[in-house]
Structure 1
Amino acid sequence: MQNLWRWILGYADAPPPAARVPARVRAMTAPPTGSVHSAEAAAAAHEAMSLAQLGDRFHRYVLGLPDYHANEPSQEERAILKRLQATCTAFDVRSLPRLPTVLPQLLRSLKSDTVGGAQLAKLIGRDPVLVGEVMRVSRSIYYRTLHPIQSLQHAVVLLGQDGLRRVVTMHVMKPILHASAGMFGHVAGQRLWDHAERCAHACAYLGKGSSDPFEAYLAGIVCNTGTGAVVRVLDQEAPMELGPLTSHFLAACAQLAAQLSLRAARHWNLPTNVLNALEERTVAGMPPESSLGRALLCADTLAMAQVLGEHALAAPDTDLSTAWPEFFTPAMIERCQQDLRRQFRDADARAC
């Protein structure tokens, strides 16, 4: 189990011995050849959905599963859930690897206004992969300048603290989410990463004025790190003849994933506010009390809607402005959704 987790989190060179994949799942994990599988699916995608239905469709999209309307779990599903819960409960968090040593010091430095570009460049220079990522982002169209970037210090100054925080977070978390896809190949990992980017962006947007911008971004990036782990354990535990998965089963898996995400975040010594927000996600049916927890709850769903809309699995302009009146005004949610579309869907269109 320890070797499994080391590979899940990207700290091993090769995966553990392959577990069998249910034939039903294996047949559905290939990426779709088009945006919409059928005219019937296209029509269903544009129907109004509740928040629970939206979440259910997103989890099916991550796993490559079709819609399934039965909700009562079978005895077989209940047995698999018990095994999943036992496996996740028995997991020894001490076997999780620590984050690279440069990161805590770098993140602390990024919260200080007295640290200059030269000092930050020196810290970043200790991680060659991070250097490459900083240089790549600084030379992108978004940051393009009249004069080419010639040095790491120039790139650091150009990105600024907010840009550097995001680059550093992406550098750490993207490989983890991609590596956690298990026997589903790179499909689930990329889909989880697409959601993480959008969730982090929305969480930072909704957290303006009430939460630290970087903590909000970090909470959005890491909130679903446990999902890939649950996917891999499900690959091991599910029998070959398992039938279509019910919404109840997927919701229970999502709760397990939230618990594993929290345990990983604690092991990584993430900021207290981030840990509190992640802990609030593990209590089903209870609204979050912290401002960051509320932003994360809404951002998670907004990101799901955005990803599904981009792939024609939901209405592209799904309006969630009135979904959380106790947390945010409809105008705030609407502006956040517009910002997500501008930042991601429109950016993808320009890239084509």
Structure 2
Amino acid sequence: MMGNWWRLFAPTRAPATPAPRQTAFERNAPNAIEASHGTVSGDEVEEHFHRFILNLPPLVGDSAAPAREQALLQRLKEFCDGGRFDVRTLPRMPTVLPQLMRAMKSDNLNGAQLANLIRRDPVLVGEVMRVTGSIAYRTAHPVGSLQHAVVLLGQIGLRHVVTSYVMKPILMASAGASGQLVGQRLWDHAERCAHAAVFLSKGQCDPFEAYLAGLVGYSGLGAVARLLEKDLGVTLSTSSPAFIAGCAQVATQLTVQVGHHWDLPPPVLDALIEHADAARNAMTLPMSRVLHAAQRLAMHQLLAEHRLVDAEADYTDGSITQFPSMLLARCQQDLRKNFATQ
């Protein structure tokens, strides 16, 4: 099935959005990571990103905090390693999605057959029609039917629309009923990460699977925020870098559990598993490397939009040097073009 699928992966400027209001974290944190000689490191960006998502301010001279944090991290690990975290409490993907995913891998299905599958979910129908009615898909004749919209999108474009439609509410809900801020930040990062993963996937791995890995790669972080707030009943006024790193490690393990729960495609799940073990073993799968680089670049972009890192500073990260520096620079520029606020 042919179509204008390339439009979804071509650089298109996102509509301008107003600058976000500052939260308590942003007011108490430094306005931006201090750049040394015009550069910021990947470790600095990653730590600041996790603080931003979890809304945790830095440690400010509380000598008792590390001991409390160590005990809390142990509780988090026990909660997750012992299987006490019930992934069934997370939203499941709609039942129509696995059918659509299988169908869209087949070259034998036509637009009418795909349209019949999509009709089973009225909200998805509305999303497909909304996207094809946008400026990017504007044609000489209005899109008058679902089948016309499906053909216009093409297989890859349809995968993109379907996955975004499914994943946004799931990520928004993963942090719990009171975690709307965390959920929105997770989704903002997921969008940027998926975009960067497609950009970096050429010659490395399947672009759609890279897109999906980018969307779900930090889904466990929402679960950590939920555990801290609800199940563990913890509110921290300060937090050390070691505590942030511990939360990040727990989040990667939960992401793997969530990936199994969602029955993600094997290549995506394998990349999540290897990425969760990256601290002990080198990443060998191309998709793991694509995911890691995309996550780091998306972190930098999101923090820059919230003025928590200098957008103009050079971003250095030794862990993503498997990619040519010029390719990483072009990807970073593409993220700025598509997501930078005005």
Note whether the superposition's TM-score is higher than 0.5. Answer: yes
Given that residues 40 and 316 in structure 2 are in contact (C-alpha distance below 8 angstroms), is that contact kept between their aligned partners in structure 1?
A: no
The TM-score, its normalising length taken from structure 2, stands at 0.84
State the partner residue of 1:192: 186
Q: Which residue identity is paired with 1:200?
A: A
State the partner residue of 1:49: 40
Q: Which residue identity is paired with 1:77?
A: E
| Aligned residue-pair number | 316
Stretch moving more, 288-297 or 84-93: 84-93
State the partner residue of 1:263: 257
Mapped to 1, the partners of 2:326 and 2:62 lie a distance apart of 34
Given that residues 45 and 299 in structure 2 are in contact (C-alpha distance below 8 angstroms), is that contact kept between their aligned partners in structure 1?
A: yes
State the partner residue of 1:81: 73
Mapped to 2, the partners of 1:322 and 1:95 lie a distance apart of 36
Given that residues 200 and 219 in structure 1 are in contact (C-alpha distance below 8 angstroms), is that contact kept between their aligned partners in structure 2?
A: yes
Match of 2:311 among 295, 311, 316: 316
Q: Which residue identity is paired with 1:197?
A: E
User: Compared with structure 1, are the counterparts of its residues 320 and 181 closer, same or farther at alpha carbon in structure 2 (3 Å cutoff)?
Assistant: same
State the partner residue of 2:337: 342
The TM-score, its normalising length taken from structure 1, stands at 0.82
3-state SS of 1:269 partner: coil
3-state SS of 1:248 partner: helix
Q: Is 1:297 the counterpart of 2:311 in the alignment?
A: no
Deviation at 1:71, TM superposition (A): 11
3-state SS of 1:312 partner: coil
Q: Which runs of 5+ in 2 are unaligned?
A: 1-19
State the partner residue of 2:226: 232
3-state SS of 1:100 partner: coil
Given that residues 321 and 332 in structure 1 are in contact (C-alpha distance below 8 angstroms), is that contact kept between their aligned partners in structure 2?
A: no
Deviation at 1:70, TM superposition (A): 7.4
Q: Is 1:64 the counterpart of 2:55 in the alignment?
A: yes
3-state SS of 1:182 partner: coil
State the partner residue of 1:159: 153
Higher relative contact order (CA 8 A, sep 6+): 2
Mapped to 2, the partners of 1:104 and 1:311 lie a distance apart of 36
Mapped to 1, the partners of 2:100 and 2:62 lie a distance apart of 46
Given that residues 132 and 143 in structure 2 are in contact (C-alpha distance below 8 angstroms), is that contact kept between their aligned partners in structure 1?
A: yes
State the partner residue of 2:108: 114
User: Compared with structure 1, are the counterparts of its residues 248 and 183 closer, same or farther at alpha carbon in structure 2 (3 Å cutoff)?
Assistant: farther
User: Compared with structure 1, are the counterparts of its residues 33 and 338 closer, same or farther at alpha carbon in structure 2 (3 Å cutoff)?
Assistant: same
Deviation at 1:151, TM superposition (A): 0.9
Q: Which residue identity is paired with 2:305?
A: E
Deviation at 1:97, TM superposition (A): 5.9
Given that residues 297 and 332 in structure 2 are in contact (C-alpha distance below 8 angstroms), is that contact kept between their aligned partners in structure 1?
A: yes
Given that residues 62 and 188 in structure 1 are in contact (C-alpha distance below 8 angstroms), is that contact kept between their aligned partners in structure 2?
A: yes
Mapped to 2, the partners of 1:216 and 1:186 lie a distance apart of 26
Stretch moving more, 109-118 or 192-201: 109-118
Mapped to 2, the partners of 1:174 and 1:70 lie a distance apart of 38
Q: Which residue identity is paired with 1:299?
A: A
Deviation at 1:185, TM superposition (A): 3.8
Deviation at 1:96, TM superposition (A): 5.7
Given that residues 173 and 221 in structure 1 are in contact (C-alpha distance below 8 angstroms), is that contact kept between their aligned partners in structure 2?
A: yes
1:90-169 alignment to 2 at 5 Å? 90-93=84-87, 98-169=92-163
User: Compared with structure 1, are the counterparts of its residues 67 and 132 closer, same or farther at alpha carbon in structure 2 (3 Å cutoff)?
Assistant: same
Mapped to 1, the partners of 2:319 and 2:327 lie a distance apart of 10
Mapped to 1, the partners of 2:312 and 2:101 lie a distance apart of 36
State the partner residue of 1:329: 324
Stretch moving more, 325-334 or 59-68: 59-68
3-state SS of 2:315 partner: coil
Given that residues 93 and 264 in structure 1 are in contact (C-alpha distance below 8 angstroms), is that contact kept between their aligned partners in structure 2?
A: yes
3-state SS of 1:41 partner: coil
Given that residues 322 and 330 in structure 1 are in contact (C-alpha distance below 8 angstroms), is that contact kept between their aligned partners in structure 2?
A: no
Q: Which residue identity is paired with 2:77?
A: Q
Mapped to 2, the partners of 1:291 and 1:119 lie a distance apart of 33
Q: Which residue identity is paired with 1:41?
A: P
3-state SS of 1:211 partner: coil
Mapped to 1, the partners of 2:115 and 2:258 lie a distance apart of 28
3-state SS of 1:320 partner: strand
